[in-house]
Amino acid sequence: MAPETLVEIDRHRVRELTEREEKRLDERTPGSRALFERARRTLSAGVASSYQLRDPWPIYLSHGRGARVWDADGNELLDFHNGFGSMVQGHAHPAIERAVTERYPQGTHFAAPTEDGIVVAEELARRFGLPKWRYTNSGSEATMDAIRIARAHTGRDTIMKIFGSYHGHHDYVMVSIGVPYENIGDREDYASLPYGAGVPQSVADLTVAVPFNDAGAAERRIERLVEEGHPPACVIMEAAMMNLGVVLPEPGYLEAMRELTRRHGIVLVFDEVKTGLCVAPGGATERFGVKPDMVTLAKTLGGGLPSGAIGGTDEVFEVVENEQVYQVGTYNGNPLSMAAARASLLEVLTPEAYEHLDALNEHILAGCQAVIERYRLPGYAVGVGAKGCVTFSPAKIVDYETYKENQDGELCDLAWLYNMNRGVFMTPGREEEWTLSVVHSFEDCDAFVAAFEEMAADLTA
């Protein structure tokens, strides 16, 4: 849409609606407020993870079933948050419930391998076309171990990531994400900026960031690193970025990154913690048709139980098999998580389930796009597989810089409030997207679009 046809957003109106909706949400959630008052005495800031924080209090949930969750006040919400994208199966799916209840009386933890772990690895190998697998308990552990394996395999210390990309909370990758925009430096030579306190600058300096969707910039930076004697061990990246809303790869970009990394002996790691098992049976690797040397999985893998995995080629896994790298963890391949993952992969996330997710996403994206056009809002709907969002921006977002320059954060915040007050549970934060589940219906998607339309109408009234 040409910018001149867009509606002018009245900032005063945005603030007025935000205040009205905040007040409404406060009034609907006194139970969450009471839990927060209690929780903050013992649970630091009242939450289990800082990503659960919210002002003035977080919304505490009590239970979930199918496509719905209920908060501590009994408000019923259609779940498009889905545990930051973990619950593509929906809540309490009967197949996973059965697997977990059958496993429980047989013992839930041995720190010894079980057959379910083999079945899951066989299925992941088939889906992703990578022969070797190991387990972890989270996405952070998966990316941490993948990087260690890549470092050992190449004998190199430096690693490369995409500026603005999130890969978990360990020191190697808590670098150059969500940092003050004025400090990021030149596009050809981005600064390595720790994300939050406690990450040593000396560790951050080993992590070099380059812009998404720009293989030329990556190539020039790699060539400089080679000249300086610090070639990267790996490039760790999401094939489609999932923490600037959704940013899809431009045509040819992933192919160019594949060719470039191969030419320089760099391990290409697709971090599929968000995309894997969500955008196709074989994740972004299958969807975009570019095969990395390693993938990392978590979230959807465990069907709601903590789980993660690393897949790779025989060559990269050699350092694990010859015991140069200790890829370890007491709970790795936990029998309960593996039972859930097996049922999820073989019984829930079937080819028909992915067809349903694609059809739902097409429906919700088209619905949101129609609202955007009807009300001439600055934005567009974008998504892939189970993932999508409305990106409030007058220009297309292709990387961190275009995101920082264009994203309308106030509209994101307002959209979240509209959702919460109209029975739609959405991811908080301006960077997130929706995740559909296999038990969502077209009517559920219509409810999401209706909440969005109400906001669009109020904004432009």
Ligand X SMILES: Cc1ncc(COP(=O)(O)O)c(C=O)c1O
User: Nearer to ligand X by C-beta: 270 or 418?
Assistant: 270
Helices (H), 64-200: 82-85, 94-103, 115-128, 139-154
Helices (H), 173-313: 201-204, 215-227, 253-263, 283-288
| Binding piece for ligand X, criterion CB under 6 A, among 1-9, 93-101, 160-168, 399-407 | 160-168
CB of 119 vs ligand X, minimal distance in Å: 22
Is residue 273 close enough to count as binding ligand X by CB under 6 A? yes
Among 271, 431, 444, 453, binds ligand X (CB under 6 A): 271
Q: What are the strands of the beta sheet with 159-162, ordered from one edge?
A: 132-136, 308-312, 294-297, 267-271, 234-237, 159-162, 207-210
Residue by residue, DSSP assigns 17-52 as HHHHHHHHHHHH-HHHHHHHHHHTTTSGGGSSSGGG
CB of 298 vs ligand X, minimal distance in Å: 4
Residues 132/313, Cβ–Cβ less than 8 Å? yes
Partner residues linked to 69 by β-bridges: 64, 77
Q: Which residues contact 270 (CB under 8 A, 6 or more apart)?
A: 237, 238, 239, 283, 284, 285, 292, 294, 295, 296
- Give the residue closest to ligand X by C-beta: 139
Token digits for 96?
A: 């996973």
User: Nearer to ligand X by C-beta: 71 or 271?
Assistant: 271
- What region, left, alpha or beta, does residue 155 occupy, with left being phi > 0 and alpha being psi -120 to 50 degrees? left
Is residue 270 close enough to count as binding ligand X by CB under 6 A? no
Say if strands 294-297 and 76-79 run parallel, antiparallel, or are unpaired.
unpaired
Is residue 407 close enough to count as binding ligand X by CB under 6 A? no
User: Nearer to ligand X by C-beta: 52 or 108?
Assistant: 52
CA distance 297 to 270: 9
Is residue 212 close enough to count as binding ligand X by CB under 6 A? no
Say if strands 267-271 and 294-297 run parallel, antiparallel, or are unpaired.
parallel
Secondary structure (3-state) at 420: helix
Among 80, 135, 163, 166, binds ligand X (CB under 6 A): 166
Residues touching ligand X, count (CB under 6 A): 14
CB of 98 vs ligand X, minimal distance in Å: 25
| Binding piece for ligand X, criterion CB under 6 A, among 28-36, 114-122, 161-169, 423-431 | 161-169
Per-residue contact string for residues 290-319; x = within reach of ligand X by CB under 6 A: --------x---------------------
User: Nearer to ligand X by C-beta: 67 or 305?
Assistant: 305
| Angstrom distances, CA of residue 226 to CA of 19, 202, 206, 412 | 53, 19, 14, 41
CB of 50 vs ligand X, minimal distance in Å: 11
User: Nearer to ligand X by C-beta: 398 or 456?
Assistant: 398
Is residue 139 close enough to count as binding ligand X by CB under 6 A? yes
Question: Which of these, 327, 340, 337, lies nearest to 307 by C-alpha position?
Answer: 337
Instruction: Please state, as a whole number, how many other Cβ atoms lie within 10 Å of the Cβ of residue 335.
Output: 22
Is residue 238 close enough to count as binding ligand X by CB under 6 A? yes
CB of 301 vs ligand X, minimal distance in Å: 10
CA distance 61 to 11: 32
Among 89, 138, 261, 421, binds ligand X (CB under 6 A): 138
CB of 203 vs ligand X, minimal distance in Å: 17
| Binding piece for ligand X, criterion CB under 6 A, among 40-48, 136-144, 277-285, 390-398 | 136-144
Is residue 403 close enough to count as binding ligand X by CB under 6 A? no
Is residue 143 close enough to count as binding ligand X by CB under 6 A? yes
| Binding piece for ligand X, criterion CB under 6 A, among 22-30, 33-41, 138-146, 451-459 | 138-146
Residue by residue, DSSP assigns 112-131 as S--HHHHHHHHHHHHHH---
User: Nearer to ligand X by C-beta: 143 or 391?
Assistant: 143
Is residue 400 close enough to count as binding ligand X by CB under 6 A? no
CB of 90 vs ligand X, minimal distance in Å: 19
Is residue 274 close enough to count as binding ligand X by CB under 6 A? yes
Residues 53/61, Cβ–Cβ less than 8 Å? no
Q: Which residue has the tokens 């977990």?
A: 100
Instruction: Please state, as a whole number, how many other Cβ atoms lie within 10 Å of the Cβ of residue 123.
Output: 18
User: Nearer to ligand X by C-beta: 167 or 287?
Assistant: 167
Per-residue contact string for residues 56-95; x = within reach of ligand X by CB under 6 A: ----------------------------x-----------
Is residue 384 close enough to count as binding ligand X by CB under 6 A? no
CA distance 294 to 268: 6
User: Nearer to ligand X by C-beta: 67 or 273?
Assistant: 273
The amino acid sitting at 49 is S
**Interface positions with ligand X (CB under 6 A):** 84, 138-140, 143, 166-168, 238, 242, 271, 273-274, 298
